[in-house]
Amino acid sequence: MRVYLGIGSNIAPADSIASGLQALRDEFGALQASSVYESDSVGFDGPRFWNLVVALDADLGLFDLQDRLRAIEYRHGRPENAMRNSSRALDIDILLYGDYCGFYEHIELPRPEIHYNAFVLRPLAELAPNRALPNINISLGELWQRFDQAKQPLVRIPYVYLGVELPGNL
């Protein structure tokens, strides 16, 4: 199953993202990673976030995948009772899980933030510009072109992981 994950950090982001990418590689194998983008915090006053999207292939059910991602977050200091909009070393969200579309207990797919947060849509469109979301017939690249980019400015952060400048295959 092709899965797209959003990754964010605003606590030691360079180190936290590197450690998170390593944990994902250890757990799932090869990754495809977007560029890293810096953006303002959303929903609270806090340090700016670094965000990227990774694509991977997972042979896990949705809830097993969610459990493994939460375990990675907990190992990176996420409190079990973390508030939704708060600072964190590592935040990992399932954006797309194959062509799943709808509510699955507490998980909504595709993740709604794709439509209204530049820090989610831009790196996702970078990785899969021609992919259409399962609930609409518009490509991610076209969604990004239609997005009011001035409303949520992003700054691309040059980032190298394991000798590969992102975007790249890890």
Q: Which two tokens stand for residue 30?
A: 């090869």
Domain range list for the chain = 2-169
Residues 110-143 pLDDT 10s: 999 999 999 999 999 999 999 999 878 899 999 9
Distance CA(127)–CA(44), nearest Å, equals 28
- Looking at residues 59-80, what average pLDDT do you find? 91
Percent of residues, the chain, with pLDDT higher than 90: 84
- Looking at residues 54-79, what average pLDDT do you find? 93
pLDDT at position 88 is 87
Say if residue 83's pLDDT is above 70.
no
Distance CA(33)–CA(169), nearest Å, equals 6
Q: How confident is the model at residue 87 (pLDDT cuts 50, 70, 90)?
A: confident
Q: Which two tokens stand for residue 163?
A: 């000798």
Domain covering 2-169, topology? Alpha-Beta Plaits (3.30.70)
Nearest to 54 by CA among 155, 161, 132, 163: 161
- Looking at residues 88-113, what average pLDDT do you find? 95
pLDDT at position 151 is 92
Distance CA(105)–CA(67), nearest Å, equals 13
pTM of the complete model = 0.95
DSSP the chain: -EEEEEEEE-SSHHHHHHHHHHHHHHHH---EE--EEEE--SSS--PPEEEEEEEEE--S-HHHHHHHHHHHHHHTT--TT--SSS--S-EEEEEEETT--EEETTEEES-THHHH-HHHHHHHHHH-TTPBPTTSS-BHHHHHHHS-TTTS--EEE--EETTEESSEE-
pLDDT at position 82 is 64
Residues 4-45 pLDDT 10s: 999 999 999 999 999 999 999 999 999 999 999 999 888 777
Q: How confident is the model at residue 78 (pLDDT cuts 50, 70, 90)?
A: confident
Percent of residues, the chain, with pLDDT higher than 70: 95
